[in-house]
Structure 1
């Protein structure tokens, strides 16, 4: 019986050993699978991190391209950026390759492929960005800019409108006109009876003593003096909801003192230095229309020599209380520092107009004199007087003799014929231009038709007497002038459709490179539209008719009762030097299927 059980123990051990081996092998196989899964996950994470690095590196190139040229559009930005590629820190087999493109929705896409182990692991990451291109600044984006000072004594309204929506109409005007200075410590003086539908920004002080209101805010780097000497505005068309007894419709913000003699203010008052009430006028009233926590704030002292009036309180607490004595931190109006022009945030003359005009003018060009004194212009009827015509489509200027009129010897020598030449203007090559010496209209007619005309005047441009400039629809006249401009036609006029042509040019514009005093003097009894750029000389405008457009001069003095109306569409005219920064907005990212498939490793069989 015992002999039959020989070897049973061995068989039992073998069975148990086999079972243990199976368990161990199964465990080993599971460990191998887990290890491979962990390895694959690690490789995948490596490839994803590499793809993200590619996106970041490409984004750096993108931002650098924008810093180099803020005016690039989306296609130019893609061309200027290039592609990013490289390796990770974990090994030379860890690579990324990123590229930039525009998708069907007009968005920027950065596609980045991250790879590890020579492509065994791949991740394709796509990041989307919204893009708003930078906008070239315009020298005409404000109503009036006097680099070294502005003085307004006009009695007509100063407001704004958009010529792309139609001609100026007083009852459709907007309160968006901006008046300001550029050089450090330069003042704006407001007297007369002009209602200003807009705001005033001075790099120096603002002296407001006019008899009409300002609907917007006052902001100055030095002091603001408010001495408005009126009780009720005479403007019959003030903005909706604007009280008739208001001097300033917005805030008064000064980095220096606020000297508040009289006048009602709808906003708040902020002075980094002193708040002064010289006369303790009962008409000094503050409304604080936006219900800010403090009516007034001043960083230094409240001064009221005659004592503080009873109504100068907020919630029963006098403005002299310590709660109001805290610096409001009014920011400075950006200015150009004469000691460091290049570092300044703004430029008086971003075009460098003197050099531009000097490069264009021809001292040998003939003077043009259109001199006649017979019949006056009657719109819609045959013209009997001589017209000097400029039309780019005919290739040259000409004397147009309507009807049977011929040039009479008693008129002297006929004006010269100007032939078109090619020139580079604002970095645009092969622009057709006409060049003359001085150009005089003395009871004469100048007609512009057929498109955009650029006239380079080496001397002075003079318009006197019964003179007319007639600019046809879809045509424009651009003057580059090295001398002075004098337009004082007694009964003459400039007739045109206001605004910009289809090519984006102002219908009538003057670019003056003159560097002496009183370079531009305009006195017109009829309506005038002009974009004036004269940062090296003084501009004097007497607008007894309505002046529409924009004015930039070394100093600007405006008077007359016709009003000044800023055409906001002129902000689309480039050449201002400064730019609005382009904007990139991150919209999101997603991982996509890799460009090439990943082969799974062959699994060993136990």
Structure 2
């Protein structure tokens, strides 16, 4: 007989197998839950990280949008105005970011950004570093000689440059004494007998009629005319948007001409750097000396050289340009819009009274008072007034504290005989509604770390024996030029310097002709409607004047910008 299986064994086996299967399933479920939670946490962390990046991009974009709107922005000002931001991501209402701008230096800053999700259960922090470069304006005092409508230099004085912030003229002199015009077809005539040590740029024709060389490049929109003569005439290159007429002497560099090119006997192109083309011209060529007017055996008349080089034009005033402003028709010559704004500068002129000094008299000016110190009586009291050109600077007014600079108003100023005026104690500002005349053996003495700034509506005439002596050339610690003239006069020959002694000054007279006819040298810079220099007058450009911070200028050279340098993630607890 067969044995019978115990009853219920199959059920127990099934239950055991079911239990084991359940354990496996529950273990798998638990692992799945752990994986799901890890995936969720990773997703939240990733969202937080992306939110921190969004904060960086949003904050940086807002800064970038503001840079063109405010030319005075600095890292400190960015921190003050746009230091903190916050926002929401598009994921959910609990997706948040917050940013904070932190200064590293005057030229660098960081944006610290934190992104969070689920009530800050997930957080991520990111730091991005940026370089900052403020707006750069082209200084109105960026050249030795700027004659908006023309320049005529027929004297024996040279034009060159130096930097008073680095040393004396003899210690730092260089060849950056540029001469230029900026309006229409304005010519430059160089008929003197001393070198021009810098580039010469003109919208009109450049005439070289003197015996001394141009130590620099020549660039004209209309043409270059070199007279007969020997020796080196141009120690540099020639660029002409029009014609080129070379009668005699050497051009050491190359020649590029859009129009006709003519070279007479005795003229030569040195091509000192062995350029593939000593000359290129787009018009007709006329060359008298085939043996010298050639390169590697090929005459300049060969078609190889008859190729238009498309010379880039000198920038000039253009009423059809997109940024033309009819309220500022002469902005290229007068970027400060001085004549337009001079009525505001002289708004209290009805209260001005004349200023005069006579024989043996001496008068002192400080920023807060003017008074006779010898053979005279009476005082002059300044008043506070905002002047747009000086808004970017803070005047040194000694112990006097004022929100606006103190200025002295005068209904004309006349210094005669052997009188003397001393400027001391800081930055002195004169507003002269009328003429400023120095005659006889008069003198103005400007002490160290003091300056004299003169706004004048009438004629300026500094006589042959008159002297303005500056104890310190260049800029004071407060940023003022030791002597500067701002003239709105539009009469012919509205600024005359015929002194026999040297003068340091920054001269801005965009509506009148500036005449320099003495034997004294001008150290500084000169800008006028036209410039006529004769006699021994020379101009020695002080490059330190490029750093003067004048307000009202519209010549933006480079807008402010920020540049991304790199980033790093960090723990929120750092």
TM bin, normalised by shorter chain, reads 0.7 to 0.9
Q: Is the 8 A contact 2:229 2:248 kept in 1?
A: no
Listed as ranges, the matches of 1:19-418 within 5 Å are 19-81=20-82, 83-103=84-104, 107-169=108-170, 172-220=172-220, 222-227=221-226, 229-232=228-231, 246-271=232-257, 273-279=258-264, 281-289=265-273, 291-298=274-281, 300-304=282-286, 306=287, 309-338=290-319, 341-342=324-325, 347-361=332-346, 362-372=349-359, 385-392=360-367, 395-401=368-374, 406=375, 417-418=379-380
The offset of 1:58, in angstroms, is: 1.0
Q: What SS does the corresponding residue of 2:161 show, helix, strand or coil?
A: strand
Query: Match for residue 448 of structure 1?
Result: 422
Q: Is the 8 A contact 1:212 1:230 kept in 2?
A: no
Report whether the alignment pairs 1:425 with 2:380.
Answer: no
Distance in 2 (alpha carbons) for counterparts of 1:5 and 1:495: 130
Q: Is the 8 A contact 1:111 1:125 kept in 2?
A: yes
Q: Is the 8 A contact 2:364 2:424 kept in 1?
A: no
Deviation by residue 1:215-254 (Cα, 9 ceiling, x = unmatched): 222223x22314154434xxxxxxxxxxxxx332333223
| Structure 1 spans left out of the alignment, 5+ residues | 233-245, 373-384, 408-413, 597-606
C-alpha spacing 1:124/1:527, structure 2 compared with 1 (3 Å): same
C-alpha spacing 1:474/1:104, structure 2 compared with 1 (3 Å): closer
Q: Is the 8 A contact 1:228 1:247 kept in 2?
A: no
The offset of 1:366, in angstroms, is: 2.5
Query: Match for residue 600 of structure 1?
Result: none
| Structure 2 spans left out of the alignment, 5+ residues | 392-402
Deviates more, 1:571-580 or 1:17-26: 17-26
Distance in 2 (alpha carbons) for counterparts of 1:71 and 1:314: 53
Distance in 1 (alpha carbons) for counterparts of 2:16 and 2:8: 12
Distance in 1 (alpha carbons) for counterparts of 2:330 and 2:78: 24
The offset of 1:157, in angstroms, is: 1.4
Q: Is the 8 A contact 1:424 1:430 kept in 2?
A: yes
Q: What SS does the corresponding residue of 2:565 show, helix, strand or coil?
A: strand
Distance in 1 (alpha carbons) for counterparts of 2:156 and 2:126: 64
Query: Match for residue 570 of structure 1?
Result: 545
Q: Is the 8 A contact 2:230 2:250 kept in 1?
A: no
Q: Is the 8 A contact 1:175 1:198 kept in 2?
A: yes
Q: Is the 8 A contact 1:206 1:224 kept in 2?
A: yes
Q: Is the 8 A contact 2:423 2:444 kept in 1?
A: no
The TM-score with structure 1 as length reference comes to 0.82
The TM-score with structure 2 as length reference comes to 0.87
C-alpha spacing 1:196/1:575, structure 2 compared with 1 (3 Å): same
C-alpha spacing 1:593/1:513, structure 2 compared with 1 (3 Å): same
Deviates more, 1:477-486 or 1:494-503: 494-503
Distance in 2 (alpha carbons) for counterparts of 1:523 and 1:327: 45
Q: Is the 8 A contact 2:467 2:503 kept in 1?
A: yes
Q: Is the 8 A contact 1:145 1:556 kept in 2?
A: yes
